[in-house]
Amino acid sequence: MNIDLVSVTYKSRPCLADPAADILRIVQSSRVRNPRLGMTGILLYNGFHFVQTIEGPRIACNDLFAQISNDPRHSEVVAFEVRQIEQRRFLDWSMRLISRTELREIRPELLNRAIRRGELPERVDHDFALDLLVAPLYWRMVVRGATPSRVNLAMQSRAITAGLKASLNEAVTQ
């Protein structure tokens, strides 16, 4: 394992005067800065919250997350996953902005990557998997305003994966 490579996932509430222009500036500056720092990542924006994963060398990730936390365009910044990673999930994206519409369009790519990594079973129903993966996080973070712990995320991931595998096995035997 490359112990210097980490992933940080956080949520924040945007404080944007001109959302379209401000988000464009954030993405453009990230696409210039991140390759120089060895950073990759993805930014999801649903109109109310940012959820972002940044990945790269530990020092660069820590520095970048500190900058984001102090950026006046973000409030209520909460990191809910910080972990060492063996390989990047967003290798080709210096920073990718994903809107709700685009997320629906690229979900097969994202889920197929998870399948190739062995995180999801091969014959998984993509819509069902996304519903199972996103709904508990949305409920915990947005509705309840709570931060999921590592233990909570790990338990949720194992339960969802086991449930998906069991439902596929059951469907095959019927």
What CA–CA distance (Å, rounded) separates 126 from 150?
24
pLDDT over 50 at 1, yes or no: no
| pLDDT greater than 60 at residue 144 | no
Listed range (87-96, 108-117, 124-133) with the worst mean pLDDT: 124-133
Q: What is the mean pLDDT of the chain?
A: 77
Band the pLDDT of 141: cuts 50, 70, 90: low
pTM of this prediction?
A: 0.60
103-119 pLDDT, tens digit each: 667 667 777 777 787 77
Least confident of 24-28, 32-36, 51-55, 141-145: 141-145
| Out of 40-44, 96-100, 146-150, least confident range | 146-150
